């Protein structure tokens, strides 16, 4: 089986897992066997997902090209959904709240499903992309994005819980959600910082300039500034609750624009 | 009591301006300016402005030709563009002012908070989450011994002991390097901004195009387009291009020699992602162009049937079998049709042009020149390599700043400052014990541990007061 086929199976497995998780959350109480089973299913699917990415890496060597699977939109979406899966598992295990996983699983599924619209063949890299900095830069940026995605999900749930009293009993404790909003940004922020630094180092080697105000570079810095504002507002000005949740939502909007939107602006980063 | 504070920082990082405000009686302009530069609210506002400005720069096209704009745009818009430098936004005067404001704000905040660190370094824990007192009937030196032993076990180190006239103080501090974390991060940002400014003021970028075999030192500056001269010569020995089977470029590199006053200083390849640096100036492989032909490979078959493969260079004259005619290269077209590349050959008889023959690479039949049959086998292109030139004296600051930034993150994420300070005094025949403690993380757990440790070590013959 090729990695591309395996990824297709993993995609639909995430969908099935999302349905199973929904059933588990609706029909049983917290800490039930059914819910633990659903979590176990997610972990298994994520492990297969990991294996598929590794398989693609091996396949590229068999083709004589030999590179990490992080270089085009298809590969980066597969990796992004992997990071989301990892983030969901970690949040579930640390904070013991199922609803973040419930919301996040469809997101992972949609991210993977959208790859079916893209060209999945392994293509060799143009000279500008042949660098070890590529792995460090892409991995750290995506780990950062995943942290921000988890924060976004928690922030939306928090705002819904605050905004609609009828839904509040079904959602996790507001203080817990607020903590997830903060802590996942705390995890993602250093990753994004290192992602920007490795990107700058790579740019310095490839294009002779560590910062050219290219739209992708600029927007990643804008994202970084929004989350810096979040951290300062939270830590030094004691913002909490709705205001920080709103900032998390704005920040994730910047993440989405950095990832997708910049491809519609002219510049060096438009690889498709 | 459960303090509703942020999980990592305690009250000491909250804007101390709020506490100071009550004490200040006069609102002078100077103190307003000072508070502007030491306030975190200012930081948030400046970051907001920078974010909006940066977004503008991605929407408004940058580095366009102003002359074109003058002709097409309205005079009013053109004036605004010139005043605000909208098409060169990230180098504009007001953007730099914003960056300088941010730097000053950072400096102000740092200068305000740094003096507080030595006290915390020594173990001050008065603002921590642990705060209680007890009294004990036993003498002070006995209590001191018991508490020293138990708390040292909890903290896994020995305390600093200060014996004053009236009081004895025991202080334990662990991982105080945490206190350097936030200052380091903010100093790092200042260093990075300074590095960027130095690069902006003293750096330059440009590009140079050199053919294989050419030597040059004059290059085009970016973005002005002016011509400048390098302090050394670049000699391009050769340019190599390899492709994947798909035709996409796999690798291209220039093999160059750097000369100063004719002497060879540095020799080596310049590849994409692997620049060459000399005297602080870096050369990057940017692009390439085919500008000519090194030689053309032909196969010539005479009337006797013998087929000979020849390499003919531009300007070279090769005689054909038979002796009367010779051929020279006229031109070469890389070709876009199915017939492939095309070479035009001048056929000369006794030194004068007799005819011109066109030979296509993919044709099955050879071209005929009297008795000779000529096939076009291939050609070796002559490349001109495009090298990008960069000089940025600020990069050393930028990379140092990045290193400091990473160090700062590691410190605040992986260390936890914990401190316990116990003050023992003698009064009314009893030993009075005052305990303070702080922890940056897991406060509730730390408080329970300290309280339990002290309670157990003092046993039953003590009472809380």
Task: List, for residues B151-196, the tens digit of each pLDDT value.
Answer: 999 989 999 898 888 889 999 999 989 999 999 999 999 999 999 9
pLDDT in the model for residue A267: 53
Residue A98 shares a structural domain with residue A21: yes
Q: Which two tokens stand for residue B391?
A: 């000089």
pLDDT for B9 beyond 50 = no
What SS3 state is found at B394? coil
A8 vs A109: CA distance, rounded Å: 11
Shortest CA distance to A235 belongs to which of B17, B408, B50, B11? B11
CA-CA-CA-CA dihedral for A258, A264, A268, A272, to nearest 10: 100
Range of the domain at A200: 129-272
pLDDT in tens, B316-355: 888 888 778 888 888 888 777 888 888 888 888 887 888 8
Average pLDDT, chain A: 86
The span from the CA of B372 to the CA of B334, in Å, is 24
Token representation of residue A30:
């917290």
From A120's Cα to the closest Cα of chain B, the distance in A is 16
Residues A113 and A206 occupy one common structural domain: no
Are A150 and A213 contained in the same domain?
yes
Are B209 and B390 in contact by the 8 Å Cβ rule? The answer is no
Chosen for mutation from B272, B282, B413 (greatest number of chain A CBs closer than 10 Å) is: B272
State both tokens at A99. 């609803």
Q: Quick one: A137 and A269 in the same domain?
A: yes
Q: What is the pTM of this model?
A: 0.77
Are both A232 and A263 inside the same structural domain? yes
> Using N-to-C axis directions, what is the helix angle for A73-95 and A174-207, rounded to 10°?
150
Q: What is the pLDDT of residue A189?
A: 96
Cβ contact (<8 Å) for B40 and A236?
Answer: yes
Per-residue pLDDT of B235-246, as tens digits, reads: 999 999 888 777
B92-105 per-position pLDDT tens digit: 899 999 999 999 99
Mean pLDDT of A141-169: 89
Residues A71 and A14 in one domain: yes
CB B137 within 8 A of CB B430: yes
A215/B58 Cβ within 8 A: yes
Q: Given this model, what pLDDT does residue B216 score? A: 92
Contacts of A195 in chain B (CB under 8 A): none
CB contact under 8 A, A182 and B249: no
Band (pLDDT 50/70/90 cuts) for residue B406 is very high
Strand partners, A176: none
User: What pLDDT is attached to residue B10?
Assistant: 47
Give the distance from residue A76's alpha carbon to the nearest chain B alpha carbon, in angstroms.
21
Chain A residue at shortest CA distance from B408: A190
A52 band by pLDDT with thresholds 50, 70 and 90: very high
Supply the pLDDT for residue B239: 92
The answer, yes or no, to whether residue B131 has pLDDT greater than 60, is yes
Asked if residue A3 has pLDDT above 90, the reply is: no
Of the candidates A124, A206, A235, which has its C-beta nearest B250's C-beta? A124
Q: Is the pLDDT of residue B47 over 50?
A: yes
Q: Report the number of distinct structural domains present in chain A.
A: 2
pLDDT in tens, B254-297: 999 999 988 899 999 998 878 899 988 999 988 888 888 888 99
B441 to chain A, any CB pair closer than 8 A? The answer is: no
Closest C-alpha among B292, B283, B315, B314 to residue B216: B283
CA distances (Å), A136 to each of A70, A191, A222, in order?
10, 10, 21
Of A125, A149, A168, the last residue of a domain is A125
Instruction: State the number of CA atoms in the 13 A half-sphere of A107 facing the CB.
Output: 21
Domain final residue, candidates A125, A159, A176:
A125
The reply to whether A110 and A135 lie within a common domain is: no
The pLDDT value recorded for residue A43 is 94
Enumerate the H helices of chain A as residue ranges.
3-27, 33-62, 73-95, 98-113, 132-163, 174-207, 215-235, 242-259
Q: Which of residues 60-119 of B touch A (CB under 8 A)?
A: 61-62, 90
Chain B hits for A181, Cβ within 8 Å: none
Distance CA B132, CA B442 (A): 18
For B398, the closest chain A residue by CA position comes to A210
Task: Give the whole-angstrom CA distance, residue B121 versus residue A86.
Answer: 38
Residues A120 and A186 in one domain: no
Domain closes at, from A107, A125, A143? A125
Residue among B5, B51, B409 minimizing CB distance to A225: B51
Whether B392 has its CB under 8 Å from any CB of chain A: the answer is: yes
C-alpha count within 13 angstroms, C-beta hemisphere, residue B264? 8
| A121/A161 same-domain check | no
Contact B250 A127 (CB under 8 A): yes
User: Which residue in the set A126, A182, A202 is minimally distant from B249, CB to CB?
Assistant: A126
**Displacement of CA B152 from its chain's centroid (Å):** 45
DSSP B274: B
The residue of chain A nearest to residue B281, with distances taken between CA atoms, is: A208
- Both A235 and A138 in one domain: the answer is yes
Task: Give the residue from chain B lying closest to A131, CA to CA.
Answer: B273
The count of other CB atoms within 10 Å of the CB of residue B459 is 10
Do A191 and A70 belong to one domain?
no
Most confident region among A27-31, A36-40, A249-253, B250-254 by mean pLDDT: A249-253
Claim to verify: residue A142 and residue A259 sit in the same structural domain: yes
- Work out the angle between the directed axes of helices A98-113 and A132-163 (0-180°, nearest 10): 130
pLDDT at B15: 54
pLDDT at B84 over 90: no
pLDDT at B209: 93
Identify the pLDDT of residue B395: 92
Q: Is the peptide bond before B223 cis (omega within 30 degrees of 0)?
A: yes
């Amino acid at each position: 089986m090729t990695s591309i086929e395996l990824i297709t199976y993993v995609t639909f497995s995430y969908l099935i897992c999302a349905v199973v998780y929904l059933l588990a959350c609706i029909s049983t109480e917290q800490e039930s066997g059914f819910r633990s089973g659903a979590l176990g299913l997610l972990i298994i699917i994520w492990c297969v997902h990991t294996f598929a990415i590794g398989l693609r890496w091996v396949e590229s060597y068999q083709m004589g090209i030999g590179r990490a699977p992080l270089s085009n939109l298809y590969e980066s979406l597969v990796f992004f959904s992997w990071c989301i899966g990892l983030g969901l598992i970690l949040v579930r295990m640390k904070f013991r709240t199922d609803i973040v996983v419930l919301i996040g699983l469809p997101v992972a599924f949609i991210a993977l499903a959208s790859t079916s619209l893209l060209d999945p063949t392994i293509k060799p890299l143009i000279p500008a992309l042949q660098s070890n900095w590529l792995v460090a830069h892409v991995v750290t940026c995506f780990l950062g994005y995943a942290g921000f995605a988890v924060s976004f999900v928690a922030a939306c749930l928090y705002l819904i819980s605050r905004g609609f009293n009828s839904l509040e009993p079904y959602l996790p404790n507001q203080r817990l959600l607020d903590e997830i909003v903060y802590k996942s940004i705390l995890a993602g922020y250093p990753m994004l910082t290192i992602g920007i630094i490795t990107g700058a180092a790579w740019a310095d080697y490839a294009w002779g300039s560590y910062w050219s105000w290219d739209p992708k570079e600029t927007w990643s810095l804008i994202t970084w500034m929004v989350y810096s504002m979040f951290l300062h507002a939270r830590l030094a000005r004691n913002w909490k609750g709705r205001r920080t949740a709103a900032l998390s939502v704005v920040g994730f909007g910047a993440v989405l624009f950095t990832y997708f939107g910049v491809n519609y602006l002219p510049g060096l980063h438009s690889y498709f | 009591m459960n303090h509703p504070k942020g999980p990592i920082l305690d009250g000491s990082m909250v804007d101390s301006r709020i506490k100071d405000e009550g004490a200040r009686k006069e609102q002078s302009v100077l103190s307003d300016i000072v508070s502007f530069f030491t306030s975190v609210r200012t930081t948030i506002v400046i970051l907001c402005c920078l974010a909006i400005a940066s977004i503008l720069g991605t929407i408004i096209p940058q580095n366009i030709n102003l002359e074109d704009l003058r002709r097409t745009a309205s005079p009013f818009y053109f004036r605004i563009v010139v005043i605000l430098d909208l098409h060169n936004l990230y180098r504009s005067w007001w953007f730099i002012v914003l960056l300088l404001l941010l730097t000053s704000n950072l400096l102000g905040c740092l200068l305000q908070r740094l003096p507080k660190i030595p006290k915390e370094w020594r173990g001050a824990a008065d603002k921590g989450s642990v705060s209680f007192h007890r009294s004990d009937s036993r003498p002070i030196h006995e209590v001191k011994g018991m508490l020293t032993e138990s708390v040292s076990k909890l903290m896994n180190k020995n305390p600093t002991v200060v014996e004053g006239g009236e009081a004895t103080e025991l202080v334990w501090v662990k991982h105080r390097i945490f206190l350097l974390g936030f200052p380091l991060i903010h100093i790092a940002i200042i260093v990075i901004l300074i590095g960027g400014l130095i690069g902006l003021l003293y750096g330059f970028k440009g590009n140079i195009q050199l053919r294989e075999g050419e030597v040059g030192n004059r290059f085009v500056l970016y973005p002005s387009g002016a011509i400048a001269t390098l302090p050394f010569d670049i000699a391009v020995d050769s340019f190599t291009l390899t492709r994947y089977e798909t035709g996409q470029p796999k690798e291209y590199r220039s093999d160059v020699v750097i000369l100063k006053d004719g002497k060879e200083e540095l020799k080596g390849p310049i590849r994409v992602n692997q620049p060459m640096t000399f005297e602080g100036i870096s050369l990057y492989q940017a692009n390439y162009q085919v500008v000519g032909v090194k030689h053309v490979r032909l196969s010539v078959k005479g009337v006797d049937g013998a087929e000979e493969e020849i390499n003919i260079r531009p300007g070279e004259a090769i005689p054909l079998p038979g002796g009367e005619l010779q051929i020279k290269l006229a031109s070469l077209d890389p070709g876009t049709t199915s017939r492939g590349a095309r070479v035009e050959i001048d056929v000369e008889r006794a030194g004068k042009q007799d005819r011109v023959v066109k030979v296509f690479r993919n044709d099955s039949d050879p071209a005929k020149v009297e008795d000779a049959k000529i096939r076009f086998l291939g050609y070796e292109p002559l490349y001109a390599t495009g090298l990008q030139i960069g000089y940025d004296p600020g990069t050393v600051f930028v990379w140092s700043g990045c290193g400091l930034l990473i160090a700062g993150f590691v410190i605040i994420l992986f260390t936890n400052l914990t401190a316990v300070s116990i003050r023992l005094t003698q009064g009314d025949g009893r030993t009075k014990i005052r305990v303070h403690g702080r922890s940056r993380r897991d406060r509730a757990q730390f408080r329970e541990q300290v309280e339990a440790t002290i309670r157990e070590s003092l046993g039953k013959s003590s009472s809380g007061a």
